[in-house]
């Protein structure tokens, strides 16, 4: 509720009034440009429609606090209209051949790549993440999800031999703000490939790229109602997951909201997948290539300002190399360039929102209070916007809040271990279980550790590598179900069994 109260305040803030189209002015030598409409409506039944609520909210650029656009607030009646549009579109969409569905997905993927620069700039503006990342990771990976799932759309029978995979129906998808475009692609592509129709609810603070994706859906000629996008806040998400017309809910976000959704769908026969938080252990052994491990650890925690569910936020370093490794890390952190997210040399952009910044500050203060030592890169942070310097806490104990709670920011908690057994015990001592990382020179040790670590993804001698073909998901409070690969598609079909030959 606090979140909603805050939103109400921000829409009445005089600074957030709109005077016309706001245009991002590129540097003179650059050809970057993106025009952002001052107002965005809902995408329902293939049309842009005004919200029945009559209300709009602002989305801002977290790096400058400048308003970017106002966006329609969908409440119960709007969500109902979107689900009805998806229900209406379902019979014809499921009846199309897989080859036909694949054509739409390939077209969307190609169009996304053709407009990659525009999507990268828009994502950077609405989210605060550096252009280097939106350009090299978010947009290409989002396109990859469409390409990858297009490839399966006409081969589902091969994927599930001896079975008859049937789509589920209307899928309600609720996504967070940390990878807005990528999460939209990640959710929409497999759902459509398998013949489902979709109502997608982006996060309230980062709706613009999902809305622009709807332009591609229109231009690709996707039949009306196959994908509908309802923007809004937690109330919109609640209205969606409670709607009786859904066959499945797919959610990515916090563990707290995930638990609420689990209760909301209980007993309704609705399929559910939850991708929630994490507190990944990142293990560094004394025999590892330490300079490479430093790069991996930096990528593991400072990529996307640490707003990553699978971030390597707990560094477990072998005691014998602790001082050396921490020293290397401290020097490397000093070289991270923090600032203007649109500058292609920037490594770390803005924290996504003020509440997120406050949460990071509160948890770091708690870490220091509990006895950890604070190391922050010395860097000049812009006066406007939401910023936090790359941070490391050493001397952290397993009982500290910064070792147990997800900070979801650029803050690394450092702990030590002596033996592989102790490393596994500490790595698994968490309520989460999404990802983990291992740096060691010994292949046998990697296998031994990977078998024992309770995490959905275990990277070795690398970190934060993603691929549409690779299943992603967690254990325990990190959620259930997998997204990506064969396992991800499995969550979007009902297997009817008994496909008879001839
Ligand atoms: P969040 O508050 O859980 O929000 C996620 C989405 O759910 C947003 O669209 C949100 O709308 C909506 N929502 C809020 N309350 C809802 C309710 N009662 N019913 C239905 N929907 C509701 O999480 P966040 O703050 O956006 O994202 C950060 C969290 O997500 C972190 O904990 C992170 O670990 C987790 N995450 C996990 C993964 C993964 O793959 N496992 C990936 C990314 C993020 P509003 O935007 O209006 O709040
Ligand atoms: Mg924004």
Each residue of 434-493: pLDDT tens digit? 889 999 999 999 999 999 999 888 999 999 888 888 888 887 878 888 888 889 999 999
Provide the pLDDT for residue 144. Answer: 96
The single residue listed with the structure tokens 């740096």 is 439
Among 378, 388, 397, which residue's Cα sits nearest to residue 314?
397
Catalytic residues: 275, 309
pLDDT tens by residue, 265-319 = 999 999 999 998 889 899 999 999 999 999 999 999 999 999 999 999 999 999 9
Neighbours of 159 (CB within 10 A): 15
- Collect all residues with Cβ–Cβ distance below 8 Å to 1 and sequence separation of at least 6: none
Task: Return residue ranges of the chain for CATH 3.40.309.10.
Answer: 281-465
Q: What is the third-level CATH fold of 15-275+481-495?
A: Aldehyde Dehydrogenase; Chain A, domain 1 (3.40.605)
Q: Would the CB of 71 count as within 6 Å of ligand 1?
A: no
Provide the pLDDT for residue 258. Answer: 94
**Highest CATH level, class, for 281-465:** alpha beta
* 364: pLDDT strictly greater than 70: yes
Neighbours of 29 (CB within 10 A): 5
* 170: pLDDT strictly greater than 70: yes
Q: How many CA atoms lie within 13 A of 150 on its CB side?
A: 17
CA distance 266 to 357: 34
**Ligand 1 center from residue 441 Cα (angstroms):** 37
Neighbours of 421 (CB within 10 A): 11
Provide the pLDDT for residue 240. Answer: 98
**Ligand 1 center from residue 177 Cα (angstroms):** 7
- Reported as a pLDDT band with limits 50, 70 and 90, residue 55 is very high
**Ligand 2 center from residue 127 Cα (angstroms):** 5
Among 464, 449, 461, 322, which residue's Cα sits nearest to residue 392?
322
Give the CA dihedral 423, 469, 311, 280, nearest 10 degrees: -30
Among 199, 172, 193, 170, which residue's Cα sits nearest to residue 105?
193
Pocket test for ligand 1, best of 1, 176, 476 (most atoms within 8 A of CB): 176
Q: Which ligand is nearest to the CA of 70?
A: 2
* 166: pLDDT strictly greater than 90: yes
Among 433, 501, 422, which residue's Cα sits nearest to residue 473?
433
- Collect all residues with Cβ–Cβ distance below 8 Å to 248 and sequence separation of at least 6: 168, 169, 170, 171, 172, 196, 270, 271, 272, 273, 491, 492
Q: Would the CB of 57 count as within 6 Å of ligand 1?
A: no
Task: Return residue ranges of the chain for CATH 3.40.605.10.
Answer: 15-275+481-495
- Collect all residues with Cβ–Cβ distance below 8 Å to 12 and sequence separation of at least 6: none
pLDDT tens by residue, 374-407 = 999 999 999 999 999 999 999 999 999 999 999 9
């Amino acid at each position: 509720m606090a979140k909603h109260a805050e939103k109400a305040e921000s829409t009445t803030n005089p600074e957030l009034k709109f005077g016309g189209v706001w245009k991002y002015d590129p540097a003179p030598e650059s050809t970057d440009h993106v025009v952002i409409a001052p107002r965005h409506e809902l995408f329902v039944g293939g049309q842009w429609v005004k919200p029945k609520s009559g209300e709009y909210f602002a989305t801002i650029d977290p790096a400058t606090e400048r308003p970017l656009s106002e966006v329609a607030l969908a409440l119960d009646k709007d969500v109902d209209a979107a689900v009805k549009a998806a229900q209406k579109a379902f019979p014809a969409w499921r009846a199309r051949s897989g080859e036909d569905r694949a054509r739409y997905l390939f077209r969307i993927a190609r169009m996304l790549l053709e407009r990659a620069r525009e999507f990268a700039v828009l994502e950077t503006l609405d989210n605060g993440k550096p252009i280097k990342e939106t350009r090299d990771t978010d947009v290409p990976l989002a396109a990859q999800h469409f390409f990858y799932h297009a490839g399966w759309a006409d081969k589902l029978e091969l994927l599930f031999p001896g079975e008859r995979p049937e789509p589920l129906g209307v899928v309600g998808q609720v996504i967070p703000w940390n990878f807005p475009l990528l999460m939209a692609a990640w959710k929409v592509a497999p759902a459509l490939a398998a013949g489902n129709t979709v109502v997608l609810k982006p996060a309230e603070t980062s709706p613009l790229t999902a809305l622009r994706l709807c332009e591609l859906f229109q231009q690709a000629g996707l039949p009306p109602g196959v994908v509908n996008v309802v923007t809004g806040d937690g109330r919109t998400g609640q209205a969606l997951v409670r709607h009786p017309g859904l066959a499945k809910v797919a959610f990515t976000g916090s563990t707290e909201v995930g638990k609420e959704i689990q209760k909301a769908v209980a007993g309704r026969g609705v399929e559910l997948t939850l991708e929630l938080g994490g507190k990944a252990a990142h293990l560094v052994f004394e025999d590892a290539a330490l300079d490479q491990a430093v790069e991996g650890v930096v990528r593991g925690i400072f990529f996307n300002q640490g707003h990553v569910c699978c971030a390597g936020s707990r560094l477990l370093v072998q005691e014998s190399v602790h001082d050396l490794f921490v020293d290397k890390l401290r020097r490397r952190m000093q070289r991270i360039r923090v600032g203007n997210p649109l500058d292609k040399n920037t490594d770390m952009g803005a924290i996504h929102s003020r509440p997120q910044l406050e949460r990071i500050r509160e948890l770091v203060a708690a870490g220091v209070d509990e006895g950890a030592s604070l190391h922050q890169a010395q860097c000049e942070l812009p006066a406007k916007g939401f910023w936090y310097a790359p941070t490391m806490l050493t001397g952290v104990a397993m009982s500290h809040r910064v070792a147990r709670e997800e900070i979801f920011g650029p803050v690394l908690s450092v702990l030590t271990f002596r033996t592989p057994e102790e490393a596994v015990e500490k790595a698994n001592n968490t309520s989460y279980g999404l990802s983990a990382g291992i740096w060691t020179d010994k292949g046998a040790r990697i296998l031994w550790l990977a078998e024992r670590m309770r995490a959905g993804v275990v990277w070795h001698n690398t970190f934060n590598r993603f691929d549409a073909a690779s299943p992603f998901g967690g254990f325990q409070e990190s959620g259930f179900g997998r997204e990506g690969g064969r396992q991800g598609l499995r969550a979007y079909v009902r297997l009817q069994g008994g496909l008879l030959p001839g």
